[in-house]
């Protein structure tokens, strides 16, 4: 593949296709085992990332590589501080920081601490760091994975500005609509090999997806059966101080309830409160019986579990293997004084087959692809056989093929009679999966949509406060 000045080049593929390795080779993080890298037509072998940076090649990782307690200015100049004699030239660094941030149309103060910034501002600080090093080739790994829609729009505007000034930009994304919108050139990888590399023009999302997975993509979402059973969960007047107030809803066996709303609407915090992860008040009934939940273990004992949106810091132990992660939540089932590792291995074998988890059994979970990490987290959650499953951002940061698998897993659980809640920022995901959707706004339920009314426009209007439609609360029969 070739990157050219003044062009945006998208690199896409399923998790595990080899995208990250390719980018690391380009940026000097690891040497290739064969093949060559050419810069300005000359063959180059990078001994370190420093050598790549000296030639104007910078890589921005998916997880921000910033010192959270330092300011924007301090992060941008970290390791490259300007000096006047023996002292730091703070005035010059402040002026240069402001110049770089202005170039990116970023209004964050140079002396603001990174921990107090939005994700989009952090992304701009990362780009400013790269610009300070006279970057000619900017490589960005999943730059929009943690950004809101409005933050993504800001980033895309800046990427276009960099392109127009002659920078070669390479980025990866699982959001094919973004790729179609901004990419001039496109490389698609599958199983460690390039299957397409050329102009992006004329490649629609379906063609991209087909090339990525190696087969024609059928309907992304499984069919909805509309067959529901008894009442599984009733919530009335749930309040999570500071985040949600007077939340009421019902959920039946076999039903998938979608939760939509803007970032900051209280979606995640509401269900963390319901599962005992945050202090909460209100009335909760499971199978018609009143229950009190103050701790996640109490929720689990009642057959209700929460699958976190943040698999890397709250869902998995990245330094441990698949076996230890899989059984952690149900460890009491594998221990009689000592842990029965044989039983754990049997459970892992079953989970690998059931959820199509790929990768060596011995590998550290942190080295698995995002899609396989998500499948493992899903398998871990289901090992305790919960009846009520709350899934927060089920497909964040995973590829289109794995998304289709996850949707199949979720619909399969509902078809087995489990009651499912799906919290998602992806509008099409909520619409395609859910039988019914509650829309949250400013910590309250703004309304409910279902059936023919379940459209993107209806959800957006409720999320923005245009029109109010209260949900209809059923009573257990």
Claim to verify: residue 236 and residue 206 sit in the same structural domain: no
User: Which tokens belong to 309?
Assistant: 């949106």
Claim to verify: residue 152 and residue 275 sit in the same structural domain: no
Is 473 part of a structural domain of the chain?
Answer: no
Spatial separation of the C-alpha atoms in residues 278 and 138, rounded to whole Å? 41
Counting other chains too, the contacts that 179-186 makes at CB distance below 8 Å and 24 or more residues apart are 179/10, 179/12, 179/208, 180/204, 180/205, 180/208, 181/156, 182/8, 182/10, 182/156, 183/8, 183/9, 183/10, 184/7, 184/8, 184/9, 185/4, 185/7, 185/8, 185/9, 185/10, 186/9, 186/10, 186/12
Last residue of a domain, one of 213, 246, 279: 213
Claim to verify: residue 318 and residue 242 sit in the same structural domain: yes
Tell which residue, 204, 154, 213, 206, has the closest CA to residue 181: 204
Is 295 part of a structural domain of the chain?
Answer: yes
Is 470 part of a structural domain of the chain?
Answer: no
Is the Cβ–Cβ distance between 236 and 230 less than 8 Å? Answer: no
For every residue of 259-284, DSSP letters joined together read: EEE-TTSSHHHHHHHHTTSS--EEEE
Claim to verify: residue 172 and residue 238 sit in the same structural domain: no
Last residue of a domain, one of 187, 213, 239: 213
Claim to verify: residue 173 and residue 278 sit in the same structural domain: no
Is 222 part of a structural domain of the chain?
Answer: no
Is 243 part of a structural domain of the chain?
Answer: yes
Residue 44: Cβ-neighbour burial (10 angstroms; 0-12, 13-18, 19+): middle
Q: How many CB atoms lie within 10 A of CB 426?
A: 17
Could you tell me the CA-to-CA distances from 112 to 77, 80, 107, 283 in Å, in that order? 14, 19, 11, 42
Last residue of a domain, one of 186, 213, 240: 213
Is 289 part of a structural domain of the chain?
Answer: yes
Spatial separation of the C-alpha atoms in residues 370 and 63, rounded to whole Å? 13
Q: How many CB atoms lie within 10 A of CB 133?
A: 14
Edge-to-edge, what's the strand order for the sheet holding 281-286? Answer: 244-252, 231-240, 281-286, 289-291
* pLDDT for the residue numbered 456: 86
* pLDDT for the residue numbered 182: 93
Claim to verify: residue 306 and residue 420 sit in the same structural domain: yes
* pLDDT for the residue numbered 390: 98
pLDDT tens by residue, the chain, 477 residues: 999 999 999 999 887 788 888 999 999 988 999 999 999 999 998 988 889 988 999 998 877 889 999 999 999 999 889 998 889 999 999 999 999 998 887 888 999 999 998 877 888 898 888 888 888 999 998 888 777 777 788 888 889 988 999 999 999 988 888 899 999 999 999 888 999 999 999 888 888 888 887 766 567 899 998 899 999 999 999 999 999 999 999 999 999 999 999 878 999 999 999 999 999 999 999 999 999 999 999 999 999 999 998 888 889 999 999 999 999 988 888 888 888 999 999 999 999 999 999 888 888 999 888 889 999 999 999 999 999 999 999 998 788 888 889 999 999 999 999 999 999 988 889 999 999 999 999 999 999 999 888 988 899 889 888 765 555 556 555
Strand pairing report for 83-84 and 87-88: antiparallel
Is 474 part of a structural domain of the chain?
Answer: no
The CATH number assigned to the domain holding 168 equals: 3.40.50.300
Range of the domain at 196: 8-213
Alpha helices per DSSP H over 46-108: 49-54, 72-76, 90-103
* pLDDT for the residue numbered 473: 59
* pLDDT for the residue numbered 242: 93
Claim to verify: residue 260 and residue 381 sit in the same structural domain: yes
Claim to verify: residue 180 and residue 63 sit in the same structural domain: yes
Claim to verify: residue 306 and residue 163 sit in the same structural domain: no
Claim to verify: residue 282 and residue 393 sit in the same structural domain: yes
* pLDDT for the residue numbered 241: 96
* pLDDT for the residue numbered 249: 97
Q: Tokens 């915090």 appear where?
A: 269
Using left for φ > 0, alpha for ψ between -120 and 50, and beta otherwise, residue 227 falls in beta
Claim to verify: residue 257 and residue 297 sit in the same structural domain: yes
User: Which tokens belong to 381?
Assistant: 């959650």
* pLDDT for the residue numbered 327: 93
CA angle 157, 160, 162 (to 5 degrees): 110
Spatial separation of the C-alpha atoms in residues 446 and 456, rounded to whole Å? 15
Tell which residue, 116, 110, 101, has the closest CA to residue 69: 116
Number of domains comprising the chain: 2
> Hey, which bits of 329-411 come out as E strands?
335-336, 338-339, 388-392
* pLDDT for the residue numbered 475: 58
Distance of CA 269 to the CA centre of its chain: 17
Claim to verify: residue 277 and residue 165 sit in the same structural domain: no
User: Which tokens belong to 230?
Assistant: 């008894």
Is 169 part of a structural domain of the chain?
Answer: yes
Distance of CA 468 to the CA centre of its chain: 30
How many residues are present in the chain? 477
Spatial separation of the C-alpha atoms in residues 262 and 264, rounded to whole Å? 6
* pLDDT for the residue numbered 36: 92
Using left for φ > 0, alpha for ψ between -120 and 50, and beta otherwise, residue 41 falls in left
């Amino acid at each position: 593949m070739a990157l050219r000045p003044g062009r945006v080049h998208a690199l896409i593929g399923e998790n595990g296709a080899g995208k990250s390795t390719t980018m690391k080779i380009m940026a000097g993080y690891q040497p290739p085992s064969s093949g060559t890298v050419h810069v300005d037509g000359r063959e180059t072998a990078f001994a370190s990332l420093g050598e790549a940076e000296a030639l104007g090649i910078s890589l921005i990782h998916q997880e921000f590589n910033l010192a959270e307690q330092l300011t924007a200015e301090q992060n941008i100049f970290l390791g490259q501080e300007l000096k006047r004699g023996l002292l730091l030239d703070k005035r010059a660094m402040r002026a240069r920081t402001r110049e770089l941030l202005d170039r990116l149309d970023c209004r964050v103060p140079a002396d603001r601490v990174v921990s107090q910034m939005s994700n989009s501002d952090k992304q701009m600080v990362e780009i400013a760091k790269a610009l300070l090093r006279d970057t000619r080739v900017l490589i960005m790994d999943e730059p929009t994975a943690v950004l809101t829609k409005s933050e993504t729009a800001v980033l895309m505007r800046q990427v276009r500005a960099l392109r127009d000034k002659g920078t070669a930009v390479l980025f990866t994304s699982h959001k094919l609509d973004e790729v179609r919108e901004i990419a001039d050139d496109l490389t698609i990888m599958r199983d460690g090999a390039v299957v397409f590399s050329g102009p992006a023009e004329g490649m629609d999302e379906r063609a991209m997806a087909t090339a990525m997975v190696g087969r024609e993509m059928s309907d992304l979402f499984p069919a909805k059966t509309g067959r529901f059973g008894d009442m599984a969960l009733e919530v009335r007047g749930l309040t999570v101080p500071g985040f949600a107030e007077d939340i009421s809803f019902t959920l039946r066996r076999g039903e998938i309830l979608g939760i939509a709303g803007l970032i900051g609407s209280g979606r995640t915090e509401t269900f963390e409160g319901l599962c005992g992860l945050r202090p909460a008040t209100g009335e909760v009934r499971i199978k018609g019986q009143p229950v009190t939940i103050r701790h996640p273990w109490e929720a689990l004992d009642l057959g209700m579990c929460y699958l976190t949106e943040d698999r890397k810091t709250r869902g998995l132990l990245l330094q441990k293997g698949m076996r230890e992660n899989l059984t952690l939540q149900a460890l009491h089932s594998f221990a009689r004084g000592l842990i029965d590792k044989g039983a754990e291995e049997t459970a892992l074998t079953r989970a690998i087959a059931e959820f199509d988890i790929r990768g060596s059994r011995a590998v550290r979970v942190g080295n698995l692809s995002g899609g396989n990490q998500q499948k493992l987290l899903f398998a871990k959650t289901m090992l305790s056989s919960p009846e009520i499953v709350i899934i927060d951002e089920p497909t964040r940061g995973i590829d289109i093929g794995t998304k289709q698998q996850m949707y199949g897993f979720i619909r399969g659980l509902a078809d087995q009679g489990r009651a499912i809640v799906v919290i998602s920022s992806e509008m099409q995901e909520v619409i395609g999966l859910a039988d019914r959707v509650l829309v949250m706004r400013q910590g309250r339920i703004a309304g409910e949509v279902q059936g023919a009314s379940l459209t993107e426009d209806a959800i957006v209007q409720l999320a923005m406060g245009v029109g109010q439609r209260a949900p209809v609360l059923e009573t257990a029969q």
